[in-house]
Amino acid sequence: MSESAEQAGTAARTLRPEPIPFSQALRERTRAVHERSEGALFMQDLMAGRGSRDDYIRLLAQYWFIYGALEEAGSALSDDPVVAPFVADELTRLPAIEADLAFLIGADWRDRIEALPSTSRYAARIREVGATWPEGFVAHHYTRYLGDLSGGQIVRTLLHRHYDLEAEALAFYRFDRIDKPKVFKDHYREALDAIDWTEEQRDRVIAEAAVAFEFNAGLFDDAAA
């Protein structure tokens, strides 16, 4: 090979962008829909103190249906090679939600809550991908649990501040078995990056994560109605 040809090859390799980690692509390509979800009027009012204690109870009740579907599917997929690295007992939220609802509503809380239409569609989607498409389930797992470990901690502080919610009402946002949330999240993202997905699979999972955020936004809109 001539020197000029070798230099041209080196230049081409230099100009060719390195593939970014999947976790970074996932975050960047869902940022817009994620922000739209977070900016829903219902959540803006709740976080600013313009909502009510009942608004939060209504939202928490919907989470019971969603996390019921999520954790049921996660349990069924716990031995799946794609899903297994992400399903961790430390993340389980359903018992905490049930304890919060019992405290806020009473022992008969199951008889006093009902899934909103958007919640039913969201839970059905989780069950569908859980039964047919493990990679898609990872997208839903990511959008919920990493959000809980990140922004959820701010949500807990604001709910306590604005609505005088007791600690017994906010167990959902406490991860007592995770000493260092940042370290846990870093390991989670490393597990995402370690999966050997094709470009087409990556695109599908990212698209499904965007769908999950859209479902979340729909839930907020229904809760505000």
46-87 confidence digits (pLDDT tens): 999 999 999 999 999 999 999 999 999 999 999 999 999 999
Span 20-224: which CATH code?
Answer: 1.20.910.10
pLDDT at 15 over 60: no
The whole-angstrom separation of Cα 225 and Cα 221 is: 7
The whole-angstrom separation of Cα 107 and Cα 118 is: 26
Tell me the percentage of the chain whose pLDDT exceeds 70.
92
Query: Is-contact 93 163, C-beta < 8 A?
Result: no
- In the chain, what are the domain boundaries? 20-224
Mean pLDDT (whole number) for 198-217: 97
Find all residues with CB under 8 Å of 148, minimum gap 6, and list them. Answer: 91, 93, 172, 173, 175
Q: pTM score, two decimals?
A: 0.90
Of 141, 134, 118, 77, residue with least CA distance to 222: 118
Q: Is 137 exposed, middle or buried (0-12, 13-18, 19+ CB in 10 A)?
A: buried
